Structure 1
Amino acid sequence: MKYIYLIVINAVAFLMYGIDKDKARKGKWRIKEKDLILVAVIGGSIGAFLGMHFFHHKTRHWYFRYGIPVIM
Structure 2
Amino acid sequence: MIYILLIINFITFIIFGWDKRLSIKHKRRIPESTLLGATFIGGTIGAILSMFIFRHKISKKSFLLKFGAMILVQLFCIYFLQKYRQA
Which TM-score bucket, shorter chain as reference? 0.7 to 0.9
Q: Equivalents in 1 of 2:29, 2:14: separation in Å? A: 13
- SS of 2:27's equivalent in the other structure is coil
Report percent identity of matched pairs. 37
Do structure 1's residue 48 and structure 2's residue 47 form an aligned pair? yes
- 1:41-61 CA distances to partner (integer Å, 9 max, x unpaired)? 000000001011100000012
One-letter amino acid of the counterpart of residue 65, structure 1:
L
Specify every segment of 5 or more residues in structure 2 that has no aligned partner in the other structure, as ranges: 75-87
Q: Deviations over 1:6-48 (max 9, x none)?
A: 0000001111111000000101111000100110100000000
Superposed CA RMSD in Å reads: 1.5
Question: 1:68: Cα distance to partner?
Answer: 3.5
Instruction: Give the corresponding residue for 1:35.
Output: 34
Amino acid at match of 2:59: R
SS at match of 1:15: helix
* Higher Cα radius of gyration: 2
Structure 1 residue runs of 4+, over 4 Å off? Answer: none
Task: Decide whether the 8 Å contact of 1:45 with 1:68 is kept in 2.
Answer: no
The two structures have a TM-score, normalised by structure 1, of 0.86
Ranges in structure 1 where 5+ consecutive residues have no aligned partner:
none
